[in-house]
Amino acid sequence: MTLNPHEYTAVHGLMTLLKYQNNYPADGTGARTLAKQARNLLGPKIPPIMVEYSTATQLSLFGDYPDMSDIGPSILFIVLFAVIAVLHLTLFSINYSRGHYFWLSLGWVFYAVIRFLGFALRIVWAHDLSYTDVGITSEVFLILPTVLIASFNLILAQRIFTWRHPVGGSRRLFWNLMLGLYALVSGIVAMTIVASGGLNIYLLSEANYARYKKVVMCTSILIILYSLTAVALVLLAWFFQPTRKDENLYTYQPWWIESFSPFYFVQKGAPQQAAASFLKRNHNHRHAIRVIAATHHHYNVVKGLSNERGDLKHNVSLMIIGVTTIIILISSILRSVVCFQGRMKYDAAPVGSAPVMYVFWGALEVAVNLVYIIGRVDLRFYRPDRLPKDVRNIITAEQSLNPSEYEDDDMSAFEKVTMRNTPPRKEHFEDNLNDEDDDDFYFPTEDGDNHEGFDFNNDDLKKSKNSLPYPYKEKDDDDSEFRF
């Protein structure tokens, strides 16, 4: 039977004496300091009844304080998250060996290791609750993975948004907002750790104790809101139709991904072969916005650049984000309820009990990771790697009616006059149009017409330079709204 801290017993009197010795702090604060003083008075082994009384007065936690009954479930989830870490690492290794670099897989490996350590430290803490340093570390390692999953979901949602709205999703303003959001949540996590740890480290007055609890309440609400950002970003991509600029913009999609099957892997070196093909392409191709594969024409492969996005068809991808977000949201809400109750452990409600924690932070998060692995998020949310530096920096001659500046400097005055007065040869442009390297691309003009019926007479060339098969002028490389 749990010791009642509201009854005046011998241990209650002893703990009250310690409180008066420390300027009478609030109950539930300074557990680390009180444990150190108790060891100085009674030796290295604190009597269990004192540890039980001190624990009963501590602020309640989501998952409660561990005891010997927690060892079994904790061992189970240690094993399960170790398996999850191995699966993510194996998937990353196979992809890496084939040149398919999906670095977010390492993020899930890190997440699984943190969960592993959180449950392992919980076992250590269960043997002696007076070791508050172990308890604080265990709580941090159990809370942090929830924020990590929410962050990874937000990254996936960001790639959905950029695929749907490549112009807006590639703007510097949008990226700065996203980076600011990631920095903000890092501050929230730091604030949660400081507030939760401070309650156990410092002996606080009743007023300061109330302030610390309010900080913990605030951070719990912010974590709930943060877990919703992924769904909010997907909804923005759904309700806001792509603009004309989005529809006309050509993007670089991983056309070599042929399936999202659980046992499918890309051909070895396929991403590198695709990157090397840009050596033979127009300069603007090498600065195309990189987006995830478009599933609605997934089996009608578009090799190269494409603006065929159409309606949002990533149904399974959206389901992965939605289901995982709901699970994280519910666990965050339950933890927030415990924080707002602000009760001591003895008066804690069942909503924060250990079985509830093991269901949401254990079983359901294992299911979330299996959804990631079986659903092959490493294929669904993969965007092509940035082109190698030697490919990005290669200089391609501009195809124009006028000679380049270098050629113009070396020509004599007579040659310049002859060049200007000589109409361009029809065969020259026909050769360009029939170039095998550009068979897979269609470069729309402002009126959306094709160039197959283009008349190469000199009179038409004088009327408009925009009707050339290649862009007459290139836009700035830094402009995210480049057009072809």
The predicted model gives 136-165 an average pLDDT of: 91
So what's the pLDDT on residue 449? 40
Are 78 and 49 within one domain?
no
- Distance (Å, whole) CA 407 – CA 359: 73
Q: Taking Cα atoms as reference points, which of 53, 56, 50, 27 lies closest to residue 37?
A: 50
Give the start-end residues of each E strand in 20-72. none
Neighbouring residues of 383: CB distance < 8 A, sequence distance ≥ 6: 159, 254, 290, 291, 292
Question: Rounded to an integer, what distance in angstroms lies between the CA atom of residue 386 and that of residue 291?
Answer: 11
pLDDT at 443: 39
Report CA 185 to chain centroid distance, whole Å: 12
Residue 402 pLDDT level (bands cut at 50, 70, 90): very low
* Residue 471 in domain: no
Same domain, residue pair 270 and 418: no
Q: 344 is written with which tokens?
A: 């001591």
Please report the pLDDT score of residue 455 as a whole number: 40
Q: How far apart (Å, rounded) are the C-alpha atoms in residues 277 and 10?
A: 81
Name the strand (E) or helix (H) holding 313.
Answer: none
Residues 147 and 43 in one domain: no
Q: Is the pLDDT of residue 344 over 70?
A: yes
- The pLDDT of residue 445 is above 60: no
On whether both 284 and 429 belong to a single domain, the answer is no
Q: Are 293 and 163 found together in one domain?
A: yes
Tens digits of per-residue pLDDT, 19-65? Answer: 888 888 888 888 888 888 888 888 888 888 888 888 888 888 999 89
> Rounded mean pLDDT of 315-325?
88
Angstrom distance (rounded) from CA 150 to CA 197? 23
pLDDT: is 193 or 248 the higher one? 193
Say what the pLDDT of residue 145 is. Answer: 92
Instruction: Please give the residue that has the higher pLDDT: either 408 or 116.
Output: 116
Is residue 211 in some structural domain?
Answer: yes
Structural domain includes residue 3? no
1 within some domain = no
Q: What is the pLDDT of residue 7?
A: 79
The token duo for 359 is 């269901």
Average pLDDT estimate for 337-347 = 88
Instruction: Report the alpha-carbon distance of residue 188 to residue 148 in Å, rounded.
Output: 12
What confidence category does residue 2 fall into, taking pLDDT thresholds of 50, 70 and 90? low
Check whether residue 330 and residue 264 sit in a common domain. Answer: yes
**Is residue 406 located within the same domain as residue 372?**
no
Is the domain of 288 the same as that of 405?
no
Q: Count how many domains the chain has.
A: 3
Report, as an integer, the average pLDDT of 97-117.
94
- Contacts for 404-411: CB closer than 8 Å, 24+ residues apart: none
Residue 82 pLDDT grade (very low, low, confident, very high; cuts 50, 70, 90): very high
Name the least confident of 15-19, 81-85, 136-140, 307-311: 307-311
For residue 472, is it within any domain? no
Say if 478 falls within a structural domain.
no
Domain that holds residue 433: 401-463
| Whether 320 and 455 share a structural domain | no
- pLDDT per residue as tens digits for the range 195-252: 888 888 888 888 999 999 999 999 999 999 999 999 999 888 888 888 888 777 888 8
In the listed set 358, 390, 422, which residue is the last one of a domain according to the structure? 390
pLDDT score for 417: 41
Which of 259, 260, 273 lies closest to 384, judged by CA?
A: 273
Task: Give residue-wise pLDDT tens across range 353-387.
Answer: 999 999 999 999 999 999 999 999 999 899 888 87
Assess if residue 396 is contained within a domain. Answer: no
In a domain, 51, yes or no: yes
Name the residue type at position 18: L
Give the distance, in angstroms, between the CA of residue 149 and the centroid of all CA atoms in the same chain.
Answer: 8
* Residues 6+ away with beta carbon under 8 Å from 334: 62, 351, 352, 356, 360
246 plus 111 within the same structural domain = yes
What six digits make up the tokens of 358?
């093991």
74 shares a domain with 32: no
Helices (H), 305-425: 315-341, 354-357, 364-374, 377-380, 389-392, 405-410, 413-421
Angle, CA of 292, 324 and 114, to the nearest 5°: 100
298 with 152, same domain: the answer is yes
pLDDT at site 327: 92
Mean pLDDT of 60-86: 93
307: its two tokens:
């603006």
**Could you give the CA distance from residue 438 to residue 441 in angstroms, rounded to a whole number?**
5
- % of the chain beyond a pLDDT of 70: 75
